[in-house]
Amino acid sequence: MNIAVLDGYTLNPGDNPWTELETLGQVTVYDRTPASQIIERAREAEIILTNKTPLNAETLGHLPALRFIAVTATGYNVVDVAAAAERAIPVANIPVYGTRTVAQHTFALILELCNHVGLHAQSVRDGEWTASIEWCYWKAPVLELDGRILGVVGAGRIGQAVGAIGRAFGMNVWTTPSRSLPSASEPGWSVKSLEEIFRATDVISLHCPQTLSNTGFVNRTLLATMKPTALLINTARGGLIVEQDLADALHAGLLAGAAVDVVSAEPIPADNPLLSAPHCLITPHIAWSSLSARQRLMTATVENVRGFLEGKTPNRVN
């Protein structure tokens, strides 16, 4: 079986080998594949693995040997799944692998906005504590989370994990309605409307998938309803937020801060307005990327491929 990995560096930058996949066929791994080279590299492949390398209808039409597409991620919008289905090519994703690591990164962002650890650590390295006449000082207000309200927009696995961490910090958790939320009946959890969450919570964290209907739903109208002391976190999808509107809101002091791990175009363009917005943390889409999560991702990908070879279609999305 001829297997081509089009952008393997994302999953294995050197610490997460392809050993198990290599037992299933002849594997060729490309660290990354420009759009102009996809057809050339994948023309003979019967199985393709992709993370962010796009496989649109036109490209698929030039891959006559292709029998199966394994997406090494949860999101599979890089593949034209309808075009693949027309040719009876199954497409499979990895629905669960990074719940805990994304939840952990979400709270790393929250705590950085609340405690400003990086700011104060750098201040000490810059000699400010040595020169201080006070035995302690703070360069930004420190916010205690106990008793505050955490608004979780999207109460799936990751949203629930974030809410559980919030409860451990003594926060009350408000979530948007969800059929997958058994925890809503527990003390400290409440189901509220999106409007109520933006209007009244202290920390809002986005964990919903991006769809045609909710793209850009965090806009100037919704941001204007937030408390000026509130924080906004996004570790879901960059397109959920109108970035110019968020930058304008931060400049105007309509909210106290924001932290995002995702933006609408990645890598982030130099003209993204959030780069110059005050009180805005940006990390380079790393919430999912712990070695533990990538190892689970590798294992699940191999199982998807093995399942296909055994005549099954685990995690099929088309």
112 given a catalytic annotation: no
32 given a catalytic annotation: no
285 given a catalytic annotation: yes
Residue 232's DSSP bridge partners are 204, 258
Q: Which of 237, 243, 294, 296 is catalytic?
A: 237
3-state secondary structure the chain: CEEEECCCCCCCCCCCCCCCHHHCCEEEECCCCCHHHHHHHHCCCCEEEECCCCECHHHHCCCCCCCEEEECCCCCCCECHHHHHHCCCCEECCCCCCHHHHHHHHHHHHHHHHHCHHHHHHHHHCCHHHHCCCCCCCCCCCCCCCCCEEEEECCCHHHHHHHHHHHHCCCEEEECCCCCCHHHHCCCEEECCHHHHHHHCCEEEECCCCCCCCCCCECHHHHCCCCCCCEEEECCCHHHECHHHHHHHHHCCCCCEEEECCCCCCCCCCCCHHHHCCCEEECCCCCCCCHHHHHHHHHHHHHHHHHHHCCCCCCECC
Q: Which of 116, 148, 285, 296 is catalytic?
A: 285
Query: Which of 204, 214, 221, 210 is CA-nearest to residue 257?
Result: 204
Which residues are annotated as catalytic? 237, 266, 285
